[in-house]
Structure 1
Amino acid sequence: MDDKTYQLMKELTETEGLPGFEDRVYNLMKREIKTITNETTTDNLGSIVGKVGDSGPKIMLAGHLDEVGFIVSNITKKGFLKIKALGGWWGHVMLAQRVKVLTSKGDLTGVIGSKAPHVLSVEERKKVLKIDKMFIDIGASSDEEARSFGVEVGDPVATICPFEVLPNKKTLLARTWDNRAGCYVALKVLEKLQSSSLPNQLFSGATVQEEVGLRGAQTLAQTILPDISFATDVGVAGDTPGMDQDAANLELGNGPILGFLDRSMVPHRKLRDFVVNIAKEYNIPFQRELMTGGATDGGKFHLAGSGVPTLVVSVPSRYIHSHVSMVHLDDLNNAVDLLVQVISALDEQTVQKIKGLEG
């Protein structure tokens, strides 16, 4: 990995962007897109894409900017912060973790706490602690002191974990691969195709508020009204001890994931088969994913206008929706390579055949 790639990954994964509070990572994404193209499109919620290609069918490719986190819902008399989740969380992964409260006066470090385990009853110890029983301790002694630090109800709260390349040099650890991995892929595809004679118009970037209901996906797709769309995200890796291989058979390093089913979408069959054939033609490894318990931006992309043939192209990730996650460098690179080949082949005739209007 070169220094430029390392720095991009570090900035993407360490920059905060909670649902509805994506400003910081939006500005980073905008900066990176503008190094590739001056043609950008945004919706009114904060999704952003860059455009390359002058004519032909419109191809949309997007990850999502937002990450799971929290929002301050109350400040107690003793200065502790009560929180509500932004996105899906499981209580087991939260306690004793450091967090960052983003206030009007600057960022504050806190720790997620709860009633000490020493005083829990036997029955309480058997249950996953609910978020409403947790709090954030920022070291304040009163609500007045907490507010003097700048904290107010409604402030977003982000996780803390630095980006790190692990010893094998290909396993990458960070706090927000869900879904800065998809943002990275979208940027690299845009970069690789910027000087190509594309047979289409590529709109590539990221949406907002995916973790709270695929909201930016809906508004971005309605803004662009693409002919073909791809959502770039992460999938649940099943290559760790205790995982059920029937439920999650994805492995780090075995290639990008093609979504064959999720809770929000059955992918367009002709587009799915087209991408599979491209992967085989160029010897790009890939994995298939069928899941019933999750959704992606593709669930909204494919419903825009009269319907948009859509496929989800993801990378496997360990420990998502926690303070830390892992992906594999080869999976990221292969996802980029696959999408570059696919998009390069989507001329007007091919798109019309995929859409079922001829052939």
Structure 2
Amino acid sequence: MNELLKYLPEITELPGISGKEDKVREYIIEKIKDKVDEYHIDVMGNLIAKVSGKDSSKKIMVLAHMDEVGFMVTKVNDDGTFHISPVGGVDPRVVFSQRLLVNGEIPGVIQVKPIHLQKPEERKAKPDYSQFKVYTGLSKEEAKKKIKVGDMVTFDTKFYIEGDRAVSKAFDDRAGCALMLNLIDKIEKEGKPQYDTYFAFVVQEEVGLRGSGVAAYQIKPDVALVLEGTTAGDFPLLDEDKWATHLGNGPATFFMHSGVVLSKEIFEKIVSLAKENNIKLQFKMRTAGGTDARRLATTLDGIPSGILAVPSRYIHSPNTIIDVNDYINAYKLVELLIFEGRII
């Protein structure tokens, strides 16, 4: 497996919904603590690490969010089952009969009414979270001891790779976190980046872009680069002109998305760097959805931002697919933009 992919298996399997990113943050600290000049955790739970550059006249902020979509326990029943509500955007149709983990430890399965017991109108109706119960096999007494209202619930998915494609949960946005870990490795081996660089592993993006603005107030960067996982949409039942991105066509950059028009200067630098270095790059052609760039645009005096994202088919589901070449090409562009300071 390519050395650049080494972090993806572990970091995507870690549990960490919005507000409960602890295990992800601990993993990242272990990987970077001896490679950066300083780091701290703020009151929100953002992890901010600084690497001093050759030139301290400018500050670059590189960010990715640690949280994934998932669920929280809302009620524990007398029979040992429990109910869940989504944290972030999870279509209930992808939840049917899935395996879940409570707090990353206790396995469970979503219970649904078997199809041969459903009435015709039930089969056509969109499922609702109120219909779902999670079965763990625990007795009433065990369930009451081990499972509490507010506990984190995540998809139970193991990373695997076959050819150029990798499958896991949480590529949105552990792919971005892993890209930052790769870049910190590069800096440790080859020396300082061009400018002071702050790596912000932020929290609670999936529930309203909560962490990035808080981190930016502490850093006060001149520019920012948001690293993300983004929708692919390239499946046969959708017309090609409605695809957002396509796996294998390179990382995606954005000219705009919901709530923000991106910096024209940074957008053009990303595009020109890709052309100069023969790196595959595509534009995200659907502007629905958003990233932390929207929050940064209204933070301080407004922070000019660019976005690089790894296209992710079946995003916000237990089985998301990426093309590893898109990830590798994203890293090549990140290295040029940040290590060489080409984003400024």
Matched, 1:316 2:311: yes
How do residues 2-17 of structure 1 correspond to structure 2 at under 5 angstroms?
Answer: 2=2, 5=4, 7-17=6-16
Q: How many residues align?
A: 341
Distance 1:346 1:214 in 2: 26
Residues of 1 paired with 2:270 and 2:184: CA distance?
18
Aligned to 1:175: 169
Structure 2 residue runs of 5 or longer lacking an equivalent are: none
Are 1:44 and 2:43 an aligned pair?
yes
Change in CA separation of 1:190 and 1:264 when aligned onto 2, cut-off 3 Å: farther
Q: Does 1:253 align with 2:248?
A: yes
Query: Cα distance 1:304–1:42, how it changes in 2: closer, same or farther (>3 A)?
Result: farther
One-letter code aligned to 1:338: L
Q: Which residue of 2 aligns with 1:151?
A: 147
TM-score (norm 1): 0.90
What letter is aligned with 1:78?
A: D
Inter-partner Cα distance in structure 2 for 1:241 and 1:343: 37
The answer to whether the 8 Å contact 1:235/1:314 transfers is yes
Kept after mapping to 2: 8 A contact 1:257/1:316: yes
Structure 1 pair 196/265, CA: closer, same or farther in 2 (3 Å)?
Answer: farther
Unaligned runs of 5+ in 1: 352-359
Partner of 2:17 in structure 1? 18
Contact 1:198–1:344 at 8 Å: present in 2 too?
yes
- Aligned counterparts of 2:49 and 2:217: Cα–Cα separation in 1: 16
Q: Matched residues in 2 for 1:331 and 1:346: separation?
A: 22
Question: Deviation at 1:87?
Answer: 0.8
1:92-111 to structure 2, matched below 5 A, reads: 92-102=93-103, 107-111=105-109
Partner amino acid, structure 2, of 1:179:
D
- CA positional deviation for 1:271: 1.3
Deviation at 1:186, TM superposition (A): 1.4
- Could you tell me how far 1:7 is from its partner in structure 2? 4.5
Residue identity in the other structure for 2:115:
P
Task: Give the Cα–Cα distance (whole angstroms) in 2 for the partners of residues 140 and 118 of structure 1.
Answer: 27
Aligned partners of 1:193 and 1:340 also within 8 Å: no
What letter corresponds to residue 131 of structure 1 in structure 2? Answer: Y
In the alignment, what sits opposite 1:190? 184
**2: CA distance between counterparts of 1:13 and 1:145?**
29
Residue number in structure 2 paired with 1:122: 120
So what's the TM-score if we normalise by structure 2? 0.93
Percent identity over the alignment is 33
Q: Does structure 1 residue 79 correspond to structure 2 residue 80?
A: yes
Structure 1 249/19 Cα, relative in aligned 2: closer, same or farther at 3 Å?
closer
Q: CA offset at residue 257 of structure 1?
A: 0.6
Shift of 1:292: 3.2
State the one-letter code of the partner of 2:135: D
How far apart are 1:197 and its partner, in Å? 4.3
Aligned-residue RMSD, C-alpha: 1.9
Equivalence for 1:357: none
Deviation track 1:126-178 (CA, whole Å, cap 9, x = no partner) reads: 11101121111112343x34113x11111110111111111x1x211112211
- Return the offset for 1:345: 4.7
Match for residue 161 of structure 1 among 157, 161, 169: 157
